[in-house]
Amino acid sequence: MEPLTLETMPDGALLLMDSAPIVYFLEAHPKLAKIFKPVFERHAAGELHFAVTTVSIAEVLTGPLQSGNEALAARFRAVLESWQVIDLTTDIAVSAARLRASSRLKLVDAVQAASALMINAAALVTYDRDFSRVQSLRVLP
């Protein structure tokens, strides 16, 4: 597979968003938000479509809920639910188990990878280098 970059990503591509890039961008992380800003800008321009797993929704909402910020959790939830939401189905769970067995991914990462593959996402947007163990998965950045 040729290297994948945001610049070569075709308009209309579906990207599965991993939890960390969402948190970095929504919380304006001082160093890491800028890495993912171009992806979010292309999405805002209607050039890319985002999908998110229910696992990522749980992870993203944990921070605001831990700090008791229900309003922020509600805003984050509204953003996430405006994307294509991928539920954890039995087929995704079985695929995740296979990925865990072959790639030694953590369960949550295996679910993310299996979900991206199941929906035929153009790429998984992540900051996690563990996904490089899944040969059939394209990863940004």
Delineate the domains of the chain, giving CATH numbers in brackets.
Answer: 13-124 (3.40.50.1010)
What pLDDT score does 136 carry?
85
What pLDDT score does 2 carry?
53
Q: pTM value?
A: 0.92
Residue 53's DSSP bridge partners are 86
What type of residue sits at position 115?
A: S
pLDDT band, very low/low/confident/very high, at 16 (cuts 50, 70, 90):
very high
End-to-end CA distance of the chain: 15
